[in-house]
Structure 1
């Protein structure tokens, strides 16, 4: 049982995770109101949401390493400060440029806070049942934030206006930052004389940001457009340069030896894959409820509430399941459940209902989400030393973020292509509900296929023995630790 101070610290970090995930969803609901009130074009409006994803994804890895260098609590508080200031700018914005700038700045603050929050959690809880339990709570709050963003976005926009979605962040960020110095460990600032790798920082940040831009643009305009191909090619060149720089740097941002660790490497791939499969489901199910079944936006968001509650319940037992059955077994079971749930969800009907078509598979997916989330986070941080937890958290957060962006671009593209092949768009932009439903079903089947591949890869996961783990004593208990009381 964690001490009261650590429980309070965990609550603070979990609430931060809730807010950061919520922020990725809430703007999607509020964006149409922004466009109407400020006269923003659809192309500009899409980047009100996407600017956050680009800066968030581009800076996660750098933020994780900086947290190791300058102190995790310091970067956590600074990230919340940037988030609050950017949110205030968004609340006061009266044109597209200021809104997009505010969203990009929010992504910067979110990257700093997210990488630091996970690193602080790993510092507070040693590897084993306590860490598994803490990661379960973390996963539960992330799942709840994804669904709550859809509901809260509709409520705030309808009652208080779209500005309230930004103003809320100002209040919440300050409320989270104030107790941080008292609840979180100060950490240590590394002073080993090795310096910092500015070229590596610039190349990896530029590469990841360009890659995020290309992936987001692919979801908007298609994979063969110049706006996708050119930044995608530039991203590959920047990331290749980063690899070459790191091999020669005296103080590499990411030591090349890190990628030679098979457990860490495979765990990051699997983290990205579960996001590829599951993240688009929130978006597509909400669209089905609204565009096909005719739900209002708020009710469409509430349709995901049972899933979120299931995430919270199952996440509280994740540590016991890992202790009893082992990390690899729970991970494989989670991915199999994702595959079954997504395949089940693909059987949507244009004449269906929430109770028969959405609720049963969403409950199964809600049970699967914390299993794959907790186990991939545990595996991604097993083979690291205490001095590398910031780097490890930056890596896994980057994998998760890019998994969600890739998944949304690919599955949305599959749904759109299938819909267009089944039914023409009407003169007023109306689409046949049957064609829409077929598109959603095809996307869910692709998600199921990704989960099947991930389940097979998870069978290859090798959990280090206690003597091999760089994280110190006790880390090797992840494969089969005693069940928590």
Structure 2
């Protein structure tokens, strides 16, 4: 085939499917890194002499760099090329992981985590936008995003299992070193296999004011929620961060509406289907992140599970996500409108969450936790897959990177909100329960029982809020998203013409 020959979108392309393997591997590395370090944190804290007041920075440094730089990373992918940005992100992530594994003090640890966040912000949008421009045929896209959605949803639980194994049987440092083979294999494979479609690169100059405003605004927002979790909502710095974030992000939107080559073209946000996806997905992540936290604490503190056993306890959720995403979602995505998968998916997850409001100290894993996790996984997997696909469907190739970055941004901000908001609700309910019941506990064992009951009461109170959040996410998905089936001409919804949804030509290399 000649250099200019076009590939018909329906013709099988083994290179695309090989590329998907390496993109999925990279995505798994980024997602599991969000939870794998949490399991290792107590051991790392002890080894490196990190104070209780500073230990949150192991998580916060990563979250701030990753969340703050995602839009910038997405636009870099559009400017430099997605493949190049993807490989650079993987290389940098591997080096940062090596630095973290070799850390000898807290400064080295915090620096390595921030660097992981920086390169993760390059890597994650590039990965999703590569899928968006490489898989344009409806059926192929459904399969590719089914796999990607399963990994995006279930990777966190995989991180808990892997983190437990590595911490318990090797050393906390291996939770960092394990990223290196992931990154090397994915980078080498991507370099030789990925053939990025030509003609989709954004040649506009970089919007420097937009980069500064969006980065500072998102960092302030994520840090505000992170600080609210540890210092409270009335803390002066917390309030200052929220006010600064609101001012910076409002200014960012104003600037983007005026400049010729914006960092985030407002057309990406204002199209109702993409807006609906970003909003509903962000809300679902708020519910899910809080749940991961509570279930980990419940299983380890209340039930006395080891880190490895805790990780395996999440397997039904992973199985549910894989089934929901690769079987239910993939099979139905080309037959029904996305909202008819996303809405019911979030509701099924809400039913699973509803079961968990019945948690007690002596609750049976098999009778309560297992079916609840299975429903959560099925629901989230079914909803995530069309959401990931729709978030980049119909977007102009030159905006694919920044549209992908918005998906990651909604997840990252949702995670920060979920951890802070639901943790605050849980802590308040626990304190209230213990204050009301501790007086009637005469012996030490009775007092310990009240403490445990208080913790469970806190978890269930917060989970009730998570149920409500998932119901709202389902309502938004059903009412705001109006896209038709991907194989119908109107896959991009009312906001964009069918010509925008034409398959991107793939040039033979």
TM-score range normalised by the length of the shorter chain: over 0.9
Q: CA separation of 1:386/1:215 partners in 2, compared to 1, >3 Å: closer, same or farther?
A: same
SS of corresponding position for 2:225: helix
Matches within 5 A, 1:136-147: 136-147=146-157
CA positional deviation for 1:382: 2.7
Contact 1:349 1:357 in 2 (8 A): no
Separation in 2 of the partners of 1:327 and 1:256? 23
Match of residue 445 from structure 1: 464
Contact 1:210 1:232 in 2 (8 A): yes
Separation in 1 of the partners of 2:151 and 2:395? 25
Match of residue 212 from structure 1: 222
1:458 is aligned, of 463, 470, 477, to 477
Matches within 5 A, 1:368-387: 368-387=379-398
CA positional deviation for 1:160: 2.2
Could you list the per-position Cα deviations for residues 107-161 of structure 1 after superposition, in whole angstroms to 9, with x for gaps in the alignment?
Answer: 1111111110000011110152221221110121233321121121122122221
Separation in 1 of the partners of 2:322 and 2:271? 32
1:130 lines up with 2:140 in the alignment:
yes
1:279 lines up with 2:289 in the alignment:
yes
1:329 is aligned, of 332, 340, 343, to 340
**Number of aligned residue pairs:** 475
1:399 lines up with 2:428 in the alignment:
no
2:16 is aligned, of 6, 14, 18, to 6
Matches within 5 A, 1:335-484: 335-424=346-435, 432-460=451-479, 461-463=481-483, 466=489, 468-469=497-498, 471-473=500-502
Separation in 1 of the partners of 2:39 and 2:230? 17
1:104 lines up with 2:83 in the alignment:
no
Match of residue 260 from structure 2: 250
Match of residue 5 from structure 2: none
Contact 2:323 2:381 in 1 (8 A): no
Separation in 2 of the partners of 1:393 and 1:27? 25
Separation in 2 of the partners of 1:372 and 1:408? 21
SS of corresponding position for 1:294: coil
CA positional deviation for 1:4: 2.3
Could you list the per-position Cα deviations for residues 186-233 of structure 1 after superposition, in whole angstroms to 9, with x for gaps in the alignment?
Answer: 455878763121111111111111111111111222211123112222
Give me the CA root mean square deviation. Answer: 2.2
Match of residue 88 from structure 2: 78
Separation in 2 of the partners of 1:211 and 1:180? 34
CA positional deviation for 1:474: 6.4
Contact 1:215 1:405 in 2 (8 A): yes
1:222 lines up with 2:242 in the alignment:
no
SS of corresponding position for 2:178: helix
Could you list the per-position Cα deviations for residues 5-49 of structure 1 after superposition, in whole angstroms to 9, with x for gaps in the alignment?
Answer: 221111111111111111000111101001111211012111111
Match of residue 198 from structure 1: 208
Could you list the per-position Cα deviations for residues 40-61 of structure 1 after superposition, in whole angstroms to 9, with x for gaps in the alignment?
Answer: 1012111111211111111111
Match of residue 478 from structure 1: none
Moved more, 237-246 or 116-125: 237-246
Separation in 1 of the partners of 2:96 and 2:289? 25
Contact 2:86 2:122 in 1 (8 A): yes
Match of residue 69 from structure 1: 79
Q: Unpaired segments of 5 or more residues in structure 2? A: 1-10, 491-496, 505-509
Q: Unpaired segments of 5 or more residues in structure 1? A: 476-485
Q: CA separation of 1:472/1:153 partners in 2, compared to 1, >3 Å: closer, same or farther?
A: same
Contact 1:277 1:447 in 2 (8 A): yes
1:120 lines up with 2:139 in the alignment:
no
CA positional deviation for 1:378: 2.4
Greater gyration radius? 2
Could you list the per-position Cα deviations for residues 325-346 of structure 1 after superposition, in whole angstroms to 9, with x for gaps in the alignment?
Answer: 3211111110111211111111
Normalising by the residue count of structure 1, what TM-score does the alignment of the two structures yield?
Answer: 0.93
CA positional deviation for 1:64: 1.0
Separation in 2 of the partners of 1:370 and 1:271? 12
Separation in 1 of the partners of 2:198 and 2:237? 43
Contact 1:8 1:183 in 2 (8 A): yes
Moved more, 423-432 or 462-471: 423-432
1:181 lines up with 2:191 in the alignment:
yes
Moved more, 24-33 or 339-348: 339-348
Normalising by the residue count of structure 2, what TM-score does the alignment of the two structures yield?
Answer: 0.89
Moved more, 156-165 or 39-48: 156-165
1:149 lines up with 2:168 in the alignment:
no
Match of residue 483 from structure 1: none
